[in-house]
Amino acid sequence: MQVPAFFEYQRATSVEHVVTLLERFGPEARIVAGGHSLIPMMKLRLAQPELLVDVNDLHELAGITVDGSVDAGHLRIGALTRHAELLASSVAGEHFPILHDAERVIADPVVRNRGTIGGSVCQADPSEDLSGVFTALRAVAVIRGADGDRTVPMREFFHGPYETAVRPAEILVELRVPLRTGAGSAYVKVDRRAGDWAVAAAGAVVSLGPGGVVDEVGIGLTAVGDADFTAVEAEDLLRGRVADEDAFAAAGAVAAEHCRPTADQRGPVDYKRHLAGELTVRALRDAVARARRGRSAG
């Protein structure tokens, strides 16, 4: 049986309490929320934290709300929001179908009932679906430490595998996704089996201007070696172009060219590179179709 090494455990009563505990115990303390990455790693003794700070009681970290106006506001997703809550949230799905696309293919219902959005992005697994989603969405992370809140764009949040902008005595509080009228979004993933980590995945968020020209676009890539989970070159190529199949194909080719996958049992490099292109095309196609439907409906 897999059993973890000795650790201490504290149930935090407030975000400030979390920060105090993290400051006191230093880098050997870890926050536990859903625990679906941390606890298996502890059981395998790949992680041996000295203190677990349980944040599950902190309701201030939960909830999905729209803050501000439809044009200038944002969707606020508390860090303690469970995957299942995000999947069930009609306001999230209405503004950003990409969130529901992704949540539907993350793990399984048991994991989604417990795992949290904040835990997923802070784990910073190179194959994490939500990493590519939030970079495509240009979300902003709100991080709290002893000195109060600071914000970090999700495109600057990831510092490499399992490394993020969150410092040892800080906690991710929420993610803010800027609202964009008329945008369409989609997420496409290839896995070997339902619930598996992605072989590769792509997310796209597209705003269309007059004449079907791409006003703004975000493309997130997962599991293909992009440290920031973003296909910047493909975004640059698309901006200002008419959103048609030729443009998607060109963007896919650029995304494939610039990604840096590594071979593992999920697939060889050439296949993953191919998928980066193919899935970029498919995500763009779906996102643009949704954007068009949104415009005609509006």
| Shortest CB 44 distance to other proteins, Å | 7
Find the binder of other proteins among 266, 273, 285, 290 (CB under 8 A): 266
Q: Do residues 143 and 173 make contact, with C-beta atoms less than 8 angstroms apart?
A: yes
Q: Do residues 220 and 132 make contact, with C-beta atoms less than 8 angstroms apart?
A: yes
**144 versus 282: smaller Cβ distance to other proteins:** 282
- What pairing do the DSSP bridges indicate for beta strands 148-153 and 200-208? unpaired
Rounded CA-CA distance 85/80 in Å is 10
CA atoms within 13 A on the CB side of 55: 33
| Shortest CB 154 distance to other proteins, Å | 25
| Shortest CB 36 distance to other proteins, Å | 11
Which among 109-117, 149-157, 184-192, 241-249 is the span making contact with other proteins, rule CB under 8 A?
A: 184-192
Residue 2, interface with other proteins (CB under 8 A)?
yes
53 Cβ neighbours under 8 A, 6+ residues apart: 10, 12, 18, 21, 22, 29, 30, 31, 32
**107 versus 166: smaller Cβ distance to other proteins:** 107
CA 62 to chain centre: 17
Q: Write out the two tokens for 274.
A: 């191919």
Which among 63-71, 169-177, 205-213, 261-269 is the span making contact with other proteins, rule CB under 8 A?
A: 261-269
**1 versus 72: smaller Cβ distance to other proteins:** 1
Rounded CA-CA distance 243/292 in Å is 10
Number of residues that bind other proteins (CB under 8 A): 30
**38 versus 199: smaller Cβ distance to other proteins:** 199
Residue 260, interface with other proteins (CB under 8 A)?
no
Site for other proteins in 189-208 (CB under 8 A): 190-197, 199
Find the binder of other proteins among 34, 203, 218, 267 (CB under 8 A): 267
| 92-121 footprint of other proteins as x/- string (CB under 8 A) | ----------------x-------------
Instruction: For residue 122, give the amino acid letter.
Output: C
Q: Write out the two tokens for 23.
A: 């400051």
125 Cβ neighbours under 8 A, 6+ residues apart: 37, 131, 161, 162, 197
Residues forming the site for other proteins (CB under 8 A): 1-3, 5-6, 44-45, 108, 190-197, 199, 263-268, 270-271, 274-275, 278-279, 282
